[in-house]
Amino acid sequence: EELALEDNCIAVQDKSILELIRSLMVYKLCSYQMLIDQAPYLISLAEKLHLGSPMYWMIKRTFFAQFCGGETAEDCESTMSSLKKHGIESILNLLSETDLDDGYYDLDNDAIREKWVEQADYVARMKIHAIENASIRPNNFVSIGVTGLSNPVFLKRFSTFLNSLSETFHKHAAKNDNKLNRSEFDSMIREIFQTDSDNISRKLFNTIDSDKDGVIDWIDFISVLSPDNKEFRILFSATTTTNNNALVTNADLEDYDKLLGRLNKICESAQQKKVRLLIGAEKLYFRPIIDHVALTLAHRYNKLNNGHGPIVFNTYQMYFKDAGTRLAMHYELSRRHQFVFAVKLVRGAYLVSECKRAAIENYPDPIHDTLQDTHNSYDHGVEFLINEMQRNAGKPLDITNSPIVLMIASHNKDSIIRACTLMDNLEIPSKS
């Protein structure tokens, strides 16, 4: 009932008059498009006129104070404590994403590659430091941007390779109910890796075919699809030595190992400090590698009934047309391999750039055609997970024993009310 109130007083009832005046002023200024468009120019002009210090003093006490918890992790502690008093948990977010526009592309240059390694190692150390600060209270969150922990050229190339695997698998499996038998699998491996490795292919198929029914599906395949797998590693290496157009190089495999090493250190710190990690969703062309490492880490750190709940949450952007399919597929993977499916659901944050990139590169727009389609996608995702949560429970649920843990990361009040109503109907406690 409180959520349905139109005056929204619950959101501001503990704010001081000065805080409310500041918020009103900031939001009013943000409504002027001309001011937003000219802001970079005005900042640059102020610096040229040696007015940078008073300008940044003003920004820090208005816009920054409204939207940011602090300049450092330590600065955020008082904000986090204040929020906690009102029943609001915190997500400590150290911005550390990179993109293909960030330069340093020539990875054949050892100095440039080493620069990326140094930068990624620094970001990993800062994330561990953020975890230590977030641990002032148990079960706080720290966000993790995978692209900040490696170089974007490798991440893009590895994502392209994973997409190629998916396309080739489904092409070969289309005539057989999206499953492959042994000979079809061998044919697919030869096409992907352009090498005759029947012995490796046989070992790999036997590993994937865990139920020994002679066929594998895509979920079986991706469950061992990793350079961490010995047979796959050999195939990767064979490809890099026999195919001049290899999508993944030996240097990429080294970057992959370093990326997983950094992420494992971060996860181990989070597990020790009782902090949870949110793997952030980034640009579409990085999504395959982000999903891959998120699921790999979840399999390792999100054990069922471990007494403290999941450590690793993956983020799903529901404005993508394929979001519901991916969500269901990854849940099925977690179910088969007995780890907690910890999920943060968002609508999405890169609408303009994703649509623009699709138009430039001439592929179908991946974003839902209408806002209502995105709303429907989001709400259906929430409903699917809550229903599966209840269906597989068999006992009172909380974060320590549920096979699914869901963060509904939405600014949309209707979505929140809809989720709470469904939980009430299924008799899932709101405090679960």
List the chain domain ranges: 1-67, 69-154+249-425, 162-242
Confidence class for position 330, pLDDT limits 50, 70, 90: very high
Residue with tokens 């994330």, as numbered in its chain = 127
Predicted pLDDT at 244: 45
Query: Confidence class of residue 108 from pLDDT cuts 50, 70 and 90?
Result: low
Q: What is the mean pLDDT of the chain?
A: 86
Any idea which of 49-63, 159-173, 242-256 has the lowest mean pLDDT? 242-256
d(CA 264, CA 276): 13
pTM of the model: 0.85
* Percent of the chain whose predicted confidence (pLDDT) is above 90: 44
- Bigger pLDDT: 319 vs 209: 319
Confidence of residue 227 (pLDDT cuts 50, 70, 90): confident
CATH number for 69-154+249-425: choose from 3.20.20.220, 3.40.30.10, 2.60.40.2550, 3.40.640.10.
3.20.20.220
Residue 431, CA atoms < 13 Å, CB-side half-sphere = 1
**CA dihedral sign of residues 130, 131, 136, 142:** positive
Distance CA 353, CA 371 (A): 16
- CA gap 294, 143 in Å, rounded: 12
What 3-state DSSP class applies to 249? Answer: coil
pLDDT for residue 263: 97
The pLDDT of residue 280? 92
| The pLDDT value given to residue 249 | 79
Cα–Cα distance measured from residue 74 to residue 212, given in angstroms and rounded to the nearest whole number: 53
Percent of the chain with pLDDT strictly greater than 70: 89
- Of 88-92, 260-264, 339-343, where does mean pLDDT reach its minimum? 88-92
Torsion of CA 120, 123, 124, 128, to 10 degrees: 180
* DSSP assignment letter at 307: S
pLDDT band with cut points at 50, 70 and 90 for residue 5: low
- How sure is the predictor about 7, in pLDDT bands with cuts at 50, 70 and 90? low
**Cβ contact 226:296 at 8 Å:** yes
Would you state the pLDDT for residue 242? 45
Least confident of 6-10, 321-325, 415-419: 6-10
The 10s digit of each residue's pLDDT in 277-327 is 999 988 898 999 999 999 999 999 999 888 889 999 999 999 999 999 999
The secondary structure of residue 403, as a DSSP letter, is S
> Which one of 1.10.238.10, 3.90.180.10, 1.10.760.10, 3.40.50.2000 gives the CATH number of domain 162-242?
1.10.238.10
Cα dihedral value 313, 314, 315, 320, nearest 10: -150
Three-state DSSP class for residue 313 = strand
> Can you tell me the mean pLDDT for 89-98?
72
